[in-house]
Amino acid sequence: MRILDRNIIKYKFSFLLSFLLLLSGEAFSEQQRVSLRWKPSQGAESYLLELSEDRDFLRVHHFYKTKNFRYEFNSQDSKFYVRVVGINVDGARGVSSPIISLADKFAAAPKVKVERPSTVVASSEELRISLGDPKTSGPSSNSPGSPNSQKQVPVSTYYRVNGGEWQKYEGSISLSQEGWNEVEFYSEDILGNKETPKKTKYLKDTTAPQVRLIGEKKGQSGLIEIKSGAELTLQVTEEGAGMEEITINLAARDGSGAEVNLTLSGEEAKKPIKISSADIDGLSILRWEANDKAGNYIQSEIPLLIDAKHPVCLFAPTEGKLREDGIYYLKENGLIAIRCEDPGTGSGLSKLEYKIGNGPVQPYQNPIGFNAGIHSVTVFTSDRVGNRAEFKIKVNALRPDWQKTGSELQEK
């Protein structure tokens, strides 16, 4: 693997090529598939994958065009060399990538039995496949006594897509229909020898995986609000070539607290994905990048409000004060006001209730009055995502004629 990075005219294209050995084929047959992947090139709007029979690329045999960064080759291309060329919006070509021998890659690719009845090809605006060189392929006449028994008879190849009209094959076939495409083809020589039509299927997939956050609603802030520690669930939908990989990141925007990084591939990437928000607080960003086996790629992000803190309450006696012994001293029928707030990054106050002693729990609306005597007060509060808190205070409401003792409070 290496990087090629050069300047051409106004645009610069660089390539980082790597190969993946993947498997596919007819139902319960043994076939191979090799995948080429490269990094996006600056200024490139699409890519040409050019194939040649010689390493020096004296002649391009055929090509595939795609807007993605991955392409899968089937055994029909195993004898060729390949290079990737970036194309900008004006049609200008970039510098070619390193040249790779597909023969070497296919030689290393294992063969296994698979059930999928087709070959998956990379997505493309103009997907083209090759049946080989139309000038040299096809049957030959080798019947005894034939003057052409040692020579190849010129042939013409014909094809049709999805039961359409038969067309003469000129070097490549364009598939315009999304989804499965059935291609039939046969060759016929100038002597009228016609082979039995063959069939193959190709999957054209130009739709990126769909990823969405499910089961969550927006709160007062206009953002999706959740309690810290709760699980988020991402639902992935991929109805084409199948999921390749998804990478997920969840972190507080200010960089504080914990961070979640998760990468899943294959079958695991198809299932609903659970993401924990434990130890994350405040405005956060949930990001993901996903690509399918056809090379379609998507990235997105959602801002979230993750609330780890419960509301905080303050108590303010209208007449009286909090003594060092932790008791609020009031005059008889004195009042205590309660003010509770959710922290600035919180979801907001949802409920504020209280009870005096073993009395009933009731909503707090106005400052609380107390008869003479000692009272215990319990305050219950919660925010909009379910963070709860409980506060307890003691109140001593004194009558004006209470018996005073001690030199400091004695009056005459």
CATH number at 271 reads: 2.60.40.1220
Is 384 in contact with 348 (CB distance < 8 Å)? yes
Is 51 in contact with 77 (CB distance < 8 Å)? yes
Same domain, 375 and 344: yes
More confident residue, 4 or 292: 292
Q: What pLDDT sits at residue 239?
A: 86
Work out the end-to-end distance of the chain between its first and last CA atoms, rounded to an integer number of angstroms: 98
Q: Which domain covers residue 345, as residue numbers? A: 312-398
Same domain, 303 and 319: no
In a domain, 129, yes or no: no
In a domain, 330, yes or no: yes
Nearest to 169 by CA among 153, 184, 179: 184
Q: What does the DSSP assignment read for 171-198?
A: S-EEE-SSEEEEEEEEEEETT--BPPPE
Half-sphere exposure of 383 (CA within 13 A, CB side): 27
Same domain, 224 and 264: yes
Q: What pLDDT sits at residue 354?
A: 96
Q: Check pLDDT > 50 for residue 79.
A: yes
Q: Check pLDDT > 70 for residue 2.
A: no
Distances (CA, A) of 110 to 20, 24, 231, 293: 11, 11, 40, 18
Q: Check pLDDT > 50 for residue 353.
A: yes
- Token pair of 365, please? 């609306």
Q: Are strands 388-398 and 327-331 parallel, antiparallel or unpaired?
A: parallel
Same domain, 280 and 229: yes
Nearest to 301 by CA among 253, 267, 266: 253
Stretch 38-57: mean pLDDT: 87
Last residue of a domain, one of 272, 307, 342: 307
Q: What pLDDT sits at residue 149?
A: 41
In a domain, 412, yes or no: no
Q: What's the mean pLDDT when you consider all of the chain?
A: 79
Q: What pLDDT sits at residue 128?
A: 54
Q: What pLDDT sits at residue 174?
A: 77
In a domain, 124, yes or no: no
Last residue of a domain, one of 255, 272, 307: 307
- pLDDT digits 0-9 by tens, 233-272: 999 998 888 888 899 999 998 888 889 999 998 788 888 9
Nearest to 238 by CA among 334, 109, 120, 357: 120
Number of domains in the chain: 4
In a domain, 271, yes or no: yes
Q: Check pLDDT > 70 for residue 350.
A: yes
User: Would you tell me how many other CB atoms lie within 10 Å of the CB of residue 211?
Assistant: 20
Q: What pLDDT sits at residue 291?
A: 84
Q: Out of 47-56, 60-69, 217-226, which region has the weakest mean confidence (pLDDT)?
A: 60-69
In a domain, 174, yes or no: yes
Last residue of a domain, one of 114, 130, 164: 114
Residues listed for the chain:
412
- Token pair of 233, please? 């669930």
Distances (CA, A) of 406 to 11, 258, 332, 391, 409: 92, 56, 21, 33, 6
